[in-house]
């Protein structure tokens, strides 16, 4: 299902969820004289649904999240989050050149503001940049209101320096966590929410070889791969570039190429399904 169709399909889910959130307290009010636990049950269930919709990264209940792209060729989309990083971005760009790979950098606006030359370099090397919010508020983005949500998107967009032939049309939420106002704000700006269906957990695990092996083994045509930069700069500065190098090497040995898909190729379902 492409982005437009996915958006239309998801709208009824969002409306239904909001309707249930309104109906549940009313139902509970009428049931309170019967049994307090029965009265609370509808509200508890609705809150569980809302929490899942917000914190589960690829959940489609609030709106579409692109998880793969349509292709019959051995291709994956490599996405790199949390840059740009002076410690990592130049090395990663050299690695991408070495393997003739293309990637999309989901950048944090504040980092882009502090290191604009790296944004220029990413674009000059033939790669793509995308919106990953201005401050990456992973702890509080789930409860952000419409004003803060819009500010995070727009302040990041100010520093993306997108090229005419490569406009910054994609968005990824911090850690994939959404809020109730995110999809409407993205729709107003014509941005496509991009998730993933393949990650190496490189912000958690500490073995670069096992991270790369996990990605390479599970890669399928149309997979969206997420890796990171800018972490462990003081304690292990070579870690993230090594993860990317081993991943690129393993994908190349498997016959896979890293490409940047067109928006119309994106799908809300997982690759291979």
**Among all residues, which ones are annotated catalytic?**
81, 228
Structure tokens at 164: 């005419």
């Amino acid at each position: 299902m492409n982005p437009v169709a996915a958006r239309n399909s998801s709208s009824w889910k969002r409306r239904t969820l909001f309707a249930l959130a309104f109906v549940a307290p009313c139902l509970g009010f009428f049931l309170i004289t019967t049994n307090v636990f029965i009265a609370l049950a509808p509200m508890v269930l609705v809150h569980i649904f809302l929490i899942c919709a917000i914190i589960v990264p690829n959940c489609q209940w609030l709106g579409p999240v692109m998880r793969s792209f349509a292709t019959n060729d051995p291709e994956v989309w490599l996405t790199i989050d949390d840059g740009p990083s002076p410690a990592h971005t130049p090395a990663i760009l050299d690695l991408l050149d070495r393997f003739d790979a293309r990637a999309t950098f989901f950048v944090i606006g504040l980092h882009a503001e502090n290191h604009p030359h790296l944004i220029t370099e990413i674009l000059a090397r033939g790669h793509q940049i995308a919106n990953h919010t201005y401050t990456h508020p992973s702890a509080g983005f789930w409860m952000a209101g419409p004003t803060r949500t819009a500010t995070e998107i727009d302040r990041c967009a100010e520093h993306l320096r997108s090229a005419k032939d490569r406009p910054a049309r994609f968005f990824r939420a911090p850690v994939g966590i959404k809020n109730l106002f995110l999809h409407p704000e993205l729709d107003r700006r014509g941005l496509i929410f991009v998730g993933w269906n393949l990650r190496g957990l490189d912000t958690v695990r500490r073995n670069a070889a096992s991270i790369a092996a996990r990605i390479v083994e599970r890669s399928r045509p149309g997979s969206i791969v997420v890796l990171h930069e800018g972490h462990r700069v003081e304690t292990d500065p070579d870690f993230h570039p090594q993860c990317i190098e081993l991943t690129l090497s393993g994908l190349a040995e498997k016959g896979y190429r890293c490409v940047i898909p067109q928006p119309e190729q994106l799908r809300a379902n997982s690759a291979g399904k």
